[in-house]
Amino acid sequence: MDSDESFDNSTYADQIHLAEHELAAFIGAVKELFGPEQARLSAEDWLDESELMDAPPRSIGRDWRAVTVAASARLANRVTIGRSYGTWVELTDTRLSPIPSSNKFVRSLRV
């Protein structure tokens, strides 16, 4: 193994460690504040957002905090919508922005 390959593997391992640490901290906070179901959904959001990053997977320039911020925005959207309609709503695709004035959307939220 040459020194460049060793450096690449070390850098990759460091990035994995940083990502795991960031994800664990985020999920722990979400679970404490919003419960296990929101933590599960937020973990999926975090992983989705990590795949959307512009940096290549083995890049040393990945910003894991930016992934957490994006996943937090999805959580905020999900929680805000749920509270707006007086019920806890599980949205599977928080990238969509529902129009609250739409009667069809409001009826679909009422369980």
Query: Tens digits of per-residue pLDDT, 22-41?
Result: 999 999 999 999 999 999 99
- pLDDT value of position 104: 41
The tally of domains found in the chain comes to 1
Predicted confidence (pLDDT) per residue in 34-60, tens digit: 999 999 999 999 999 999 887 665 566
Q: Minimal CA–CA distance to 69: which of 91, 93, 45?
A: 45
Percent of the chain with pLDDT over 90: 44
CA distance 20 to 12: 12
Domain of residue 81, residue span: 3-109
